[in-house]
Chains A and B, each alone.
Chain A
Amino acid sequence: MAKTLFDKIWDAHVVSIVDDGPTQLYIDRHFCHEVTSPQAFDGLRKRGLKVFRPEKTLLTADHNIPTIGQEQPIRDAVSRNQVDTLGRNAEEFGLTYYGMLNPKNGIVHVIGPENGYTQPGMTIVCGDSHTSTHGAFGAIAFGIGTSEVEMVLASQCVLQSRPKTMRINFEGILKPGITAKDMALYMISQLTTGGATGYFVEYAGEAIRNLSMEERLTLCNLSIEMGARGGLIAPDETTFSYLQGREQAPKGEDWDKAIARWKTLKTDDDAVFDREVTFDVSEIEPMITYGTNPGMGMGINDTVPVFGRDAACHFSTAEEQSFNKALEYMGFAPGEKLIGKPVDYVFLGSCTNGRIEDFRTFTNFVKGKKKADRVTAWLVPGSWNVEKQIREEGLDLILKAAGFELRQPGCSACLAMNDDKVPAGKYAVSTSNRNFEGRQGPGARTLLASPLVAAAAAITGVITDPRTI
């Protein structure tokens, strides 16, 4: 029977199927960070268990760590304890750990790909919803809860219900100045924040093939923001050339064998998806969000939807209360333009847009210009590797000349678990993934956008279409 790419990878990892229940799925790669793992390690201790396959788990500290002064002990005692606990667990259970200041430390979804841990055909989990990122390599990658982290540590398996399959085709050619982030925000605005719940998505089409590896990571990263278990892209030459030579990638003869296997990882021509959606990417404008979930996005020159009137407003009347609550939180009125509205903070970084290409895009835009005085800009590389590359390419000097400073790697203001908090009521144009109430700090107002839109806002101090500068 014809199979989708998802089916092929899933079926190859089934250990057993529980009667009238979930599938016992074997996990090839398990990433852990400090926030969602301590209770899982405690569980192992309580049951007197070791980690079943320690070589398949990799640990990094990213959520809590400061982005200034990592050379000093973390000032917040509770954060420090959580990070230290991860280090102790790594030692006790014999696991590889890239702690703070380790040259390989960084955001879990940045370091996995850049060190070659993430490979086509794998099953990958992490106690983090943005694990969907790794699907860009043609892997089944999804976020799990802490109880499931414990399951993987104890047995290298999870119990999961098989999701339905959806293919999203991106056809056509992107207009200049439109990024993978815009494609993702456009898609989520069309499908809504829960529109892909219950599905695993495959991204396909001409516009996907044209994306770089890092752009694919951005798109797959945001799969969870429409509720999908994950999103994947069939591996191709772009994937292979990115992986070749990376530390954990197969070498020599193993590489040739791997390539031969990876080339079979694609959806059969006559395979049928439970749902199929097609977008024409030539219609996509630079996107920005106006509300408090990632589905509340629009073209940057559009007006905030009027409830019940605009086609762009994909809400039923039952959702009116939630819609109004979101606009009230953001301080926006239905029907108004966002262009020209003042911006207080700009955040470049996160597992969504904290890679070298994002820094190149941002730097290229601000080169020879000056940061607006009213804007506080936080530029946070996704990993020390990214930071090193920024310096090697001299981007740091261009940024400095334009009035920007680089910070140290970490999740930072994406979820504001460290000190990088946007104050209440302030507007932040953020390249991260969530504009939920309070996500970037209690009362903070987040506008999700691409690195280009963020760069334009940083220069002008107001919401700006980057194509007009």
Chain B
Amino acid sequence: MEKFQTIISTMVPLPVENVDTDQIIPARFLKATTREGFGNNLFADWRYEKDGSPKKDFVLNNPLYQGSVLVAGKNFGSGSSREHAAWAIAGYGFKVVISSFFADIFRNNVLNNGVLPVVVSESFLTGLFEAIDKNPESTVTVNLQKQMVTNNVTGISEFFDINAYKKECLLEGFDDIDYLLNRRDLIEEYEKND
């Protein structure tokens, strides 16, 4: 995995609540046997007409909104455990998703793909949406080392939570399997005592 660097970026706003993973990537796109290519079908049913042409009113089709940070309403990523949702988010080019609340499995899945889920307060989230609404060129800064997210319009910063292990993984580009493979002796010992 790529090492996670501090990000200063414009944002893509999606002020919808309870966005489930069926919306992030509909089931009919789950038939692939590789991790590539899911970005093109991110939010497919909201993003494209039946004939495949872009739906003008959807945010990903609006050139005003760009950037590697997706800002979404509460309870983002609920429903199915499909990691394809994380692959779609990462494949599209998002490095960070900011919301006031994430579903558990989705949060693990994006972390395992080098995308940082940042949980912020409702008021901070509203502040971001307002900033983007006023000016799509508004930026946010996400500093993983300091665990700090900053609305660069208001100057307000908020601390966000992440466990030290996962933080290290993202900063160094390690994954969990590297870690587990180094602990096989512990696993065998556990099996003996079980």
Contact = CB atoms under 8 A, between A and B. Distances in A.
Given A143-B81, A322-B16, A417-B27, A22 B165 contact: yes
Contacts of A437: 22-23, 45
Interface stretch (B2-10, B148-156, B180-188): B180-188
Interface in B133-187: 163-166, 175-177, 179-181, 183-184, 186-187
Given A145-B112, A151-B176, A322 B31 contact: no
B79 interface: yes
A161 B80 contact: no
Contacts of B45: 437-438, 442
A342 interface: no
B130 interface: no
Interface stretch (A78-86, A104-112, A449-457): A78-86
Contact of B122 (A16, A128, A318): A318
Nearest to A424: B50
B81 A145 contact: yes
Contacts of A227: 75, 78, 103-104
Contacts of A225: 79
Interface residues of A, number: 71
Contacts, number: 193
B: interface residue count bin: 35 or more
B83 A145 contact: yes
Nearest to B190: A15
Given A15-B190, A147-B175, A155-B187, A129 B180 contact: no
A163 B34 CA distance: 31
A285 interface: no
B18 A148 contact: no
Given A145-B109, A146-B84, 14 more contacts: A19-B164, A36-B81, A128-B81, A144-B105, A144-B108, A147-B112, A150-B177, A157-B180, A159-B176, A193-B18, A224-B79, A293-B18, A416-B28, A442-B50
Interface of A: 15-16, 18-22, 24, 26, 35-36, 38-39, 42-43, 47, 49, 52, 63-64, 76, 78-79, 81-82, 85, 127-129, 131, 142-148, 150-151, 154-157, 159-161, 163, 193-194, 197-198, 224-225, 227, 229, 293, 295, 318-319, 321-322, 325, 415-417, 434, 436-439, 442
